[in-house]
Amino acid sequence: MDVKDEVRPRDPNTINKNPRSHYRLPISSVALLVTVSAVLGTGVLNQFLPVQFPPIFNTWNDISSTNTNSSTSHDNLLNDTTPFTTFTPLTTCTPNHTYTTTIISTSPLVIYITSFLTPLESTSLIHLGASLFTPSHISTPSGNIPVHGRTSTSAGLPLTSPLVTCLLSRARTFMGPLLPPSSPFSTPQLVRYHPTQKFDLHTDHWPTHQVLRAPGDPNSGRLYNRPASFFVFLRADALEGGETWFPDVRPLTNASALREVYGDTVVPGEDVGVEGGVAFKPVVGNAVFWVNVDGEGVGDERVRHAGLPVRRGEKIGLNIWPRRWFGWEDGEDGEGGRGKERKRGVLV
């Protein structure tokens, strides 16, 4: 189903003062770990990790495009009485951008990304979609429908925007071989939450692969699903509530270690009034990444999650949904060979 959902990013110098050791990995290594987990299972991934595996990875460089515009405050970007008179949006994403990652869980695979987007990139995306918000819905085989459990508003971003294209390239680089070159992205979606608005527990993947219905498109008739998801926090003005909660994810570290590393940013569910799991508080530019289905397209219900109700302020996030092909409606294999049609069920 269609899904989801300021504190400052942690100072790397502060992280390195932590007495626990840390492990540097290049982006290619993390992409490999993601792929191993998704295709072979997280049990195999664990074989590659040190016995005392601390979750912190240090910074790597990201490949992106260029722009040197400067930004101003975006506190009133979506206030109808405050036009965009002092703001110059980016036309593409920031060059040589860096971000840091933390593996929160290996089974299922959940990764927290610090500074995945810059503040100006976040503001520019809000600017791009500010006039496009409509009531949120969920996607079903029979079409898009509104539901009581999802009360936000949403805005699809144009895939033709150079800024959007650049950021999707960043997401593709992060995923590595988990996303084949022939696999596209679904339309990126802004989601906005005002007080009392929420999105109840749900998964991003479908229990049965969807069929693309697009007459004239060479991919029409192909089966697809969402192999993974990114949820990026773009705005958290005077925010209380609005955490993204995974009730079935068990972090690698215990609650006290989680609080030691992240303070009140990544916390046990109990810290935000829910039972179990882990919750991510909105921090502008930070993202959560998780794997939805394995290499055969079997979904993992353990990555069900919720956008908890906003109590005060405004939250805006960005859904990035990779799309992977899993065969054809008439039975052709997902990557071009012939084989049995794969409409797989959910792994419970």
For the chain, domains (ranges, CATH) are 12-347 (2.60.120.620)
Ramachandran bin of 265, using left for φ above 0, alpha for ψ from -120 to 50, beta for the remaining angles: alpha
288 and 117 in contact (C-beta within 8 Å)? no
- pLDDT score, position 33: 57
pLDDT (tens digit per residue) in 54-73: 443 333 333 333 333 333 33
pLDDT (tens digit per residue) in 188-223: 999 999 999 999 999 999 999 999 988 999 999 999
- pLDDT score, position 26: 53
d(CA 45, CA 176): 16
Amino acid identity, residue 162? P
- pLDDT at residue 17 is higher than 80: no
- pLDDT score, position 295: 81
Asked which of 71-75, 104-108, 184-188 is least confident by mean pLDDT, the reply is 71-75
Grouping H, G, I as helix, E, B as strand and the rest as coil, residue 14 is helix
d(CA 38, CA 219): 24
Ramachandran bin of 17, using left for φ above 0, alpha for ψ from -120 to 50, beta for the remaining angles: alpha
pLDDT (tens digit per residue) in 300-343: 999 999 999 999 999 999 999 999 999 999 875 544 433 333 44
- pLDDT at residue 11 is higher than 90: no
Residue 86 CB contacts under 8 Å (≥ 6 apart), including other chains:
72, 73
- pLDDT score, position 37: 56
User: Phi and psi (nearest 5°) for 269?
Assistant: -55, -35
- pLDDT at residue 150 is higher than 90: yes
Instruction: Please state the rounded mean pLDDT for residues 173-184.
Output: 93
